[in-house]
Amino acid sequence: MRKLEEESGWPFLLLITLPATKENQLEILSPGNYRRQAARKGETLIVGAAVGMREAKRLVEQIVGDVYRQTGTANVREYFAKSDESTNVREHFTESDRTSNDRE
């Protein structure tokens, strides 16, 4: 979160979040759009981060697949709503995010 606050040169960073509305299961947002939405509607859970739209879409597929394998349904919103930080919720990052984080 600190990097989001500082806007530290991640021009292609995208966040995978639970949406503020009930229409969708997940949203892909830039950090700037996330901050604006959080200011208007309150913060939502960030469930992953990716560099670029292609990786973000792949990550969404991975998250939905993980939820399906664990629950037998693709109801991502319900899965994370029932979860708390000590049980099911885990961070989803792309390989390039892990590599970048290892360097810091």
Question: Is residue 42 included in any domain, yes or no?
Answer: yes
Distance (Å, whole) CA 52 – CA 68: 24
Top pLDDT among 48 and 96 is at: 48
Which residue range forms the structural domain that includes residue 62? 2-94
Average pLDDT in the 34-45 region?
A: 86
Query: How many independent structural domains does the chain possess?
Result: 1
Distance (Å, whole) CA 9 – CA 31: 11
What pLDDT was estimated at residue 89? 43
Cβ atoms of 26 and 48 within 8 Å: the answer is no
Question: Is residue 103 included in any domain, yes or no?
Answer: no
What pLDDT was estimated at residue 1? 54
> Which of 23, 4, 94 is closest to 57 using CA atoms?
94
Distance (Å, whole) CA 100 – CA 62: 20
Question: Is residue 86 included in any domain, yes or no?
Answer: yes
Question: Is residue 54 included in any domain, yes or no?
Answer: yes
What pLDDT was estimated at residue 7? 53
